[in-house]
Amino acid sequence: MNILVKRLSVILCSGFFFPVSCTIGTAVSLPVIQHFDTRDIAKDDEPHIDSFVLANSQSNTHKVRLKDLHSYKKNHPQASFLLKEGTGVVEPDDYTTISYEVIRESENRQTIEVTLRDDDGHVSVQYEVEGRDIRPLYTRGYFNSYAFLALRNGIILAFFLYLLGRFLPKLYN
């Protein structure tokens, strides 16, 4: 048997390599999960459940969930969805921060990106406002639950490499 195969097998089965491969698998998996959970609403993807837009009513700026938008417009006919300032931050409570930026602006039209950060992670929504009409473009988020999915992937990778190390010498005999 080749000495390199034997050494590789020892490394893959070592107690030190298992947590290292698990950590690397988790670290690589986390941004991949986040990337694949970006939702292009303009192409009919379902938005994240926490997706929202900002509304101005009576000198207050607050969030309105996309699923509640129709009823909000009906109950608040004076509310405007056009933002007065180009950037800003709204803090509805001690644990939540909403930052927004007007990316493009023309006469009665804005493209806005808002990001909500709280204990569960963050969600960003980009949408266009024209008068009172809103067209969501995309949502992306990072939720703490992604870490558990990434950890699962890291453990699966570590077990796969361990099993590879166990069966590698048998393949070369």
- Whether residues 53 and 117 share a domain: the answer is yes
Reported pTM: 0.72
87 and 102 in contact (C-beta within 8 Å)? Answer: yes
Question: For position 145, what pLDDT does the model report?
Answer: 82
Q: Which of 17-26, 35-44, 140-149 has the highest mean pLDDT?
A: 17-26
User: In terms of DSSP H, where are the helices of the chain?
Assistant: 3-13, 17-36, 69-75, 145-171
159 and 22 in contact (C-beta within 8 Å)? Answer: no
- Whether residues 130 and 166 share a domain: the answer is no
Q: 1 falls in which pLDDT band (50, 70, 90)?
A: low
| Measured distance CA(53)–CA(68) in Å, rounded | 10
- Whether residues 63 and 132 share a domain: the answer is yes
Q: Which domain holds residue 24?
A: 3-32+146-171
- Whether residues 15 and 46 share a domain: the answer is no
Over the stretch 47-93, which tens digit does the pLDDT of each residue have?
877 788 888 877 778 888 888 888 988 988 888 888 887 888 888 88
- Whether residues 48 and 121 share a domain: the answer is yes
The total number of structural domains in the chain stands at: 2
Question: For position 58, what pLDDT does the model report?
Answer: 72
| Measured distance CA(140)–CA(143) in Å, rounded | 10
- Whether residues 127 and 167 share a domain: the answer is no
Question: For position 52, what pLDDT does the model report?
Answer: 87
- Whether residues 166 and 112 share a domain: the answer is no
- Whether residues 82 and 135 share a domain: the answer is yes
- Whether residues 134 and 55 share a domain: the answer is yes
- Whether residues 17 and 52 share a domain: the answer is no
In the predicted structure, residue 24 carries a pLDDT above the cut 90: yes
Mean pLDDT value across the chain: 87
Which one is predicted more confidently, 105 or 85? 105
- Whether residues 14 and 75 share a domain: the answer is no
Q: What is the average per-residue pLDDT within 34-57?
A: 83
C-alpha dist (Å) from residue 77 to 25, 54, 55, 70, 80:
51, 15, 11, 11, 8
| Measured distance CA(98)–CA(54) in Å, rounded | 9
Question: For position 29, what pLDDT does the model report?
Answer: 93
